[in-house]
């Protein structure tokens, strides 16, 4: 049995899913007995936050493979889409540092891209920072390019969810997480089993 550590933010944690803890728990149920998934998703985390905590979690889990979905919170903005929380340049540097830490444990690294959100809601968010699909797409492009440059696996999910698949405009609902789980499961069946 392989241990797969999954790192990220609320999209990994499963926020918005009242039934089953998001796509990570769904994968655990779908791929019973073959792999053990450990969810290290923390709502609100950016790549900077993940970088600060990943050493301890890698040591704790000693994974055979790692899945990373991070960047949505990096792309958040205040007042203007150009005023992001973590710049694209810093985001890419953080991805490089995160990967360097993961490689101490495994070279099997999979990145999941960012999902589209509902701009009707998230561009006028009830928090200090807002989300917009234009920024999410830019950060997702960085993930894809980073994976191509470094020969990492990349799972594209940007166009996988519609507005009805979101619980609050930003986080998937049960149906949305199921769609993400199915997409990742198809990849993992070919790659990790």
State pLDDT tens for residues 46-79: 999 999 999 999 999 999 999 999 999 999 999 8
What is the structure's pLDDT at 19? 78
Q: Any idea of the CA torsion for 136, 139, 141, 143, to the nearest 10 degrees?
A: -130
Q: What does the alpha-carbon distance between residue 153 and residue 144 come to, in Å, rounded to a whole number?
A: 9
Residue 193 — very low, low, confident or very high, per pLDDT cuts 50/70/90? Answer: low
Best CA proximity match to 25, nearest among 178, 161, 187:
178
Cβ contacts of 52 within 8 Å, gap of 6 or more: none
Between 3.30.310.50, 1.20.210.10, 3.30.70.2080, 3.40.50.1110, what CATH number should domain 2-191 receive? 3.40.50.1110
Give yes or no for a contact between 115 and 161, defined as CB atoms under 8 angstroms apart.
Answer: yes
Measured CA to CA, the distance from residue 167 to residue 189 in angstroms comes to: 28
pLDDT value for 18: 84
- Tens of pLDDT, residue by residue over 162-172, are 999 999 999 99
Q: Is the pLDDT of residue 117 over 60?
A: yes
Cβ contact 134:85 at 8 Å: no
Going by pLDDT thresholds of 50, 70 and 90, the confidence category of residue 21 is confident
Q: What is the mean pLDDT of residues 120-131?
A: 87
User: Over 90: is that where the pLDDT of 188 sits?
Assistant: no
Please, what's the b/e burial string for 77-91 (b: 16 or more CB within 10 A of its CB; e: otherwise)?
beeebeebbbebeeb
This model's pTM is above 0.75: yes
Average pLDDT over all residues of the chain:
94
């Amino acid at each position: 049995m392989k241990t797969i550590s999954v790192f990220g933010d609320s999209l990994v944690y499963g926020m918005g899913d009242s039934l089953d803890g998001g796509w990570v728990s769904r994968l655990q149920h779908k791929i019973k007995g073959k792999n053990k998934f450990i969810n290290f998703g923390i709502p609100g985390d950016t790549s900077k936050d993940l970088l600060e905590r990943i050493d301890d979690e890698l040591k704790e889990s000693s994974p055979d493979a790692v899945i990373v979905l991070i960047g949505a919170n990096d792309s958040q903005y205040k007042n203007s889409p150009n005023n992001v929380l973590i710049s694209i340049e810093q985001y890419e540097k953080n991805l490089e540092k995160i990967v360097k830490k993961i490689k101490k444990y495994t070279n099997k690294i999979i990145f999941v891209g960012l999902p589209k959100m509902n701009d009707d809601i998230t561009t006028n968010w009830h928090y200090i920072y807002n989300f917009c699909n234009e920024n999410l797409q830019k950060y997702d492009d960085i993930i894809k390019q980073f994976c191509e440059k470094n020969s990492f696996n990349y799972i594209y999910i940007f166009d996988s969810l519609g507005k009805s698949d979101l619980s609050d405009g930003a986080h998937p609902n049960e149906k949305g997480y199921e769609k993400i789980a199915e997409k990742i499961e198809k990849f993992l069946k070919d790659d990790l089993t």
